[in-house]
Structure 1
């Protein structure tokens, strides 16, 4: 089985896969100071709860946008799973797609992996929206080439900034307002409308501008923890792929082993 690790700015996701089928998945808060030993204790207990063991893991692949977290994750693979982790974007698992941007070396690993997975699952021109710490909108063409995109503050980040800068505003849960009215009659209602409908309008507006610039029929693929929250309230998404990054890592692992 494969252990795929997606280290993001907020959480590190660990997933065990058989082929491309996710057998188990867990997340832990990102902390670059967390040691390989700490990861191992936590992960061993979770594997046991799922009826799995470390001995059943014969490969590890990592994508990270937190460089300081990489070393301890590589040590985790070597010390506790007795294998050398593959790192997405580094030989022998280079991206394998054209990066048609000015600074390809600065592209986040998660965005490249998402592009690879989305193109494999949904051929054609694509906009991939990843709702994470930041919300990213990435454009790829029908050849699978990465063309660039947009980085916007994430939904939680936007709420944190609002509450942190306004002393009298309470912290609220991010959820759809109870009605479709955009005239709030209480402070909480007004905040919820501003966060939810305001953010959805941001996404719809950016997608419309991207589609106009691409100039060809373009599918919109959404991923990330908050993607499902917005589903049912907009027609902007053509597909939801909650595990796009993990799926992309599995695909890259397969490609590396077929090539070898």
Structure 2
């Protein structure tokens, strides 16, 4: 798999060229934002997702980070928001208006992303998966499988002609590790780094093998079986916080 970070991509703004585009991704684990200037990304920065934080609290952090790089709020010309945490979506809509004096473009299945959604109910499609698929297809213009290794590990299948067919959703590497550590009395928490060998020589390396090599096996198996169903080989793109750990083992 190859691993460019594809979640934020300025082609999702179709109405005009944005000279300074603030992109905000509200995920289950982290809120991540970055600033695009003529398709050059500054950032990204991240904070833990906290549904109890207010627009003022998140806004203070965001504006403070922009000040560090010498950017003022009035220099931001557009804001785009992708959220899988419904309770925080209005918080960041309020933030955009309060800090940047403009409502954000909120990614949804109703917007024109360049894809034809063949999902049974497009409104059920997570906007993170939609953004991943749209960005990857915009960049590669070919049939592909996009694997997002985040809180959940998600798969999106896109055809050569830009049809979004569907995909798969599995527990992510992080929550798989948390479940293992919390439900076992004697297994220690370990750093999520690849082991030197698949055959673990001690408990720590055995856990790392099972978690990381096992997750790579999950990705490989699902991607291979998706390609079998399609009847063709496809490009496979990895993104997400755990992609740098899992993709090299795939």
**TM-score w.r.t. structure 2 length?**
0.88
For the aligned residue pairs, the C-alpha RMSD in angstroms reads 1.4
CA distance in 1, matches of 2:227, 2:109: 32
CA distance in 2, matches of 1:183, 1:6: 38
Report the alpha carbon displacement of residue 228 of structure 1 after superposing the two structures with TM: 1.5
CA distance in 2, matches of 1:154, 1:5: 21
Structure 1: gaps (5+ residues): 235-260
Runs of 4+ residues deviating >3 angstroms: 93-96
CA distance in 1, matches of 2:57, 2:68: 17
Q: CA offsets per residue over residues 185-216 of structure 1, 9 Å max, x none?
A: 22112111111111111111111111111112
Q: CA offsets per residue over residues 85-144 of structure 1, 9 Å max, x none?
A: 1111276x4444221122211000011111111111112211000001000011011111
CA distance in 1, matches of 2:42, 2:205: 40
Q: Does 1:15 align with 2:30?
A: no
SS in 1 for 2:116: coil
Pairing 1:171-182 to 2, within 5 Å after superposition: 171-177=189-195, 179-180=196-197, 182=198
Which residue is 2:232 aligned to?
Answer: 216
Which residue is 2:103 aligned to?
Answer: 84
CA distance in 2, matches of 1:232, 1:72: 37
Pairing 1:175-190 to 2, within 5 Å after superposition: 175-177=193-195, 179-180=196-197, 182-190=198-206
Between Structure 1 and Structure 2, how many residues are aligned?
Answer: 231
Which residue is 2:249 aligned to?
Answer: 233
Report the alpha carbon displacement of residue 54 of structure 1 after superposing the two structures with TM: 1.2
Residues 95 and 121 of structure 1: CA distance in aligned 2, closer, same or farther (over 3 Å): closer
Q: CA offsets per residue over residues 134-157 of structure 1, 9 Å max, x none?
A: 000110111111101010100001
Which residue is 2:141 aligned to?
Answer: 123
Which residue is 1:157 aligned to?
Answer: 175
SS in 2 for 1:189: helix
CA distance in 2, matches of 1:97, 1:232: 29
Structure 2: gaps (5+ residues): 1-19
CA distance in 2, matches of 1:133, 1:38: 24
Report the alpha carbon displacement of residue 231 of structure 1 after superposing the two structures with TM: 3.7
**TM-score w.r.t. structure 1 length?**
0.85
Report the alpha carbon displacement of residue 167 of structure 1 after superposing the two structures with TM: 1.3
SS in 1 for 2:36: strand
Which residue is 1:104 aligned to?
Answer: 122
Report the alpha carbon displacement of residue 217 of structure 1 after superposing the two structures with TM: 2.9
